[in-house]
Structure 1
Amino acid sequence: MTYPPLAVTVDVAIFRLLNGALHCALVRRDAEPFAGALALPGGYVHGQEDGTLEDAALRVLRDKTGVETPYLEQVASFGDMVRDPRGWSVSIAYMALIRPADEVAEITQREGDRLHWVPADETALPEPLAFDHARILDAAIRRLRDKVEYSSLPAHLLPEHFTLPELQAIYENLIGRPLDKSAFRKRMAEADFVTPVEGVKRAASHRPPQVYRLKDEARAVLFNRVL
């Protein structure tokens, strides 16, 4: 039996904090279709190389951007006969969260103008995106923002080591409102997804704050109630 051709791709929305605001990485396509247009990093699934869809997404991230991330989450699938002018295609969309470390600056410098960090706001994109990537980006942004109040996702955007005030600040940044300090710390203790870094405290003029790290960088913890 002859089966009709069907393209299967993965596309990744990479999020990081830049100057205190959530940003997403785009790349400029150098081949048709949509040559010269901005797009999410993506590529075909390699049937003989990729053991899983997540393997494909991690390979695309590494090959297209040089970005390595401990946190990757599948967002949704998108498929129809018009999203790609070459014919029927399916895209499995992922979101990746990376910390604001020096390595990201080095990646951006090494890639030159290939990586474009834009505010994570689908209504304020600098120009139309290739394919249906604006729709995919919108879904990824909504997934991230919807999970902020009941998961550990915001912590995956922080440096490897952080303080509880820094953790609370990133939650308040993404939620858009202040949180009660005592209630926040109680919720973090109940969720039990951070652990103290023994012997490490942040320099301060008064009492040095304890430094923490994630217990599991590759997994998000869901809370039993919202913040």
Structure 2
Amino acid sequence: MPKDTKALNSTPLSLIARPLVTVDIAIFTVKNEKLQVLLVKRPNNEQEHFTEKWALPGGFLDIDIDKDLNSCALRKLKEKTNVNSPYLEQVGAWGSKDRAPTEWSITHVYFALLNSDKVILQKGGNAAEVAWFPLIDNQVKKQLAFDHNELLDLAIQRLHAKVEYTSLPAYLLPDEFTLPDLQKVYEIVLNRPLDKSSFRTRILSTNLIAPIPNKMRPATHRPAQLYRLTNPDTLTYFPRSFKYNEKALKS
């Protein structure tokens, strides 16, 4: 056994240095026909790092409360939005001695999707302000605290990749929606137009949505059928990515 391993095995656990463990969450929604992300503003406090800088919401793992990392992420999400996300996914874990100014730290990054109409933003704790920020060219036009610009980029990349072949954008909609609503939210997240006929065929060929009996949305020409998710707790996977509207892309 190597000498340093023997020394480690004989060292009391209380004396072994441990990194800070946190969870950070990129919470996405669609507002004003734009994909937006929730940010919190750090307080003007001499004891805090990156004072008055915007950051992803998150916080420390609490071993007395959180049974696992997902529980910690859900707790932090609830604290900032007062809702439980219908979809939460871990993007990955990143750590180094340079993440925080004073200590070695590890963060576990998640992304969540919410319908903004259900969200009640709540500040407090280490959040002086809480606000939605639109993504422009897949970026937020702010220099965020710590390495959160990089973490947000990674979360956006994961979201875009999964939207190509799953039903993820449906979690950004209200409980009742039309097929055009669903296509629109896909186009907002992907930032490109989709072929209408191909989209409808793809969606209606699955068990993703179900029409609400005798419920239509009034319209100028023809009322639109309202739908709901058949099983909100289950993500639907498609066999291939969506077909884009080539004419609209060229115009």
Call closer, same or farther: CA 1:65–1:158 in 2, change over 3 Å: closer
In 1: Cα distance, 2:231 partner to 2:64 partner: 30
Structure 2 counterparts to residues 152-191 of structure 1, below 5 A: 152-191=167-206
Name whichever of 166-175 and 69-78 sits farther off. 166-175
Q: In structure 2, how many angstroms separate the alpha carbons of the residues matched to 1:203 and 1:54?
A: 41
CA distance in 2, matches of 1:177, 1:64: 30
Q: CA deviation at 1:185?
A: 1.3
* Conservation of the 8 A alpha-carbon contact between 1:71 and 1:219: no
Between 133-142 and 209-218, the greater mean CA deviation after superposition: 209-218
Given that residues 211 and 226 in structure 2 are in contact (C-alpha distance below 8 angstroms), is that contact kept between their aligned partners in structure 1? yes
1:98 corresponding residue in structure 2: 114
Q: Contact 1:120 / 1:141 at 8 angstroms: preserved in 2? A: no
**Alpha-carbon deviation of 1:80?**
0.9
- Two-structure CA RMSD over aligned residues (Å): 2.1
Secondary structure, in 3 states, of the residue corresponding to 1:143? Answer: helix
Question: Does structure 2 retain, via aligned residues, the 8 Å contact 1:41–1:65?
Answer: no
Matched, 1:79 2:92: no
Shift of 1:123: 6.9
Unaligned runs of 5+ in 2: 1-11, 243-251
Equivalent position SS for 2:29: strand
1:69 alignment counterpart = 85
Which residue of the partner structure matches residue 104 of structure 2? 88
User: 1:9 aligns to what?
Assistant: 22
**Aligned-partner SS, 1:8:** strand
| Deviation (angstroms), 1:124 | 5.0
Q: How does 1:26-175 map to 2 (within 5 A)?
A: 26-30=39-43, 31=45, 32-101=48-117, 103-104=118-119, 107-108=120-121, 111=123, 114-121=129-136, 125-175=140-190
TM-superposed CA distance for 1:121, in Å, is: 4.1
- Distance in 2, matches of 1:99 and 1:42, equals 19
SS of alignment partner, residue 130 of structure 1: coil
> Runs of 5+ in structure 1 lacking a partner?
none
- Greater Cα shift, 202-211 or 140-149: 202-211
Structure 1 stretch 46-55 or stretch 172-181: which is displaced more?
172-181
Look up the equivalent residue of 1:23 and give its one-letter code.
Q
The structural deviation recorded for 1:189 is 2.3
1:88 Cα deviation from its structure 2 partner: 1.2
* Counterpart in the other structure of 1:21: 34
Alignment CA distance shift 1:122-1:33 (3 Å): farther
- Listed one character per residue, the Cα deviations across residues 140-163 of structure 1 (whole Å, up to 9, x for unaligned) are 111111222211111111111100
Which of the two has higher C-alpha Rg? 2
* Partner Cα distance (1:197, 1:225) in 2: 27
> Contact between 2:138 and 2:156, CA under 8 Å: does it hold in 1?
no
* 1:143 alignment partner AA: R
Paired residues, number: 223
Matched, 1:224 2:242: no
Aligned-residue sequence identity (percent) comes to 44
**Could you tell me how far apart the structure 2 residues matched to 1:132 and 1:65 are?**
23
Structure 2 residue identity aligned to 1:85: P
Partners of 2:135 and 2:22 in 1: CA distance: 22
Query: Greater CA deviation, 129-138 or 210-219?
Result: 210-219
Q: Is the 8 A contact 2:113 2:171 kept in 1?
A: yes
Which one-letter code corresponds to 2:21 in the other structure? V
Deviates more, 1:131-140 or 1:200-209: 200-209
Q: Tell me, yes or no, if the aligned pair for 2:80 and 2:123 is still in contact at 8 Å.
A: no
Counterparts of 2:35 and 2:133, CA distance in 1: 9
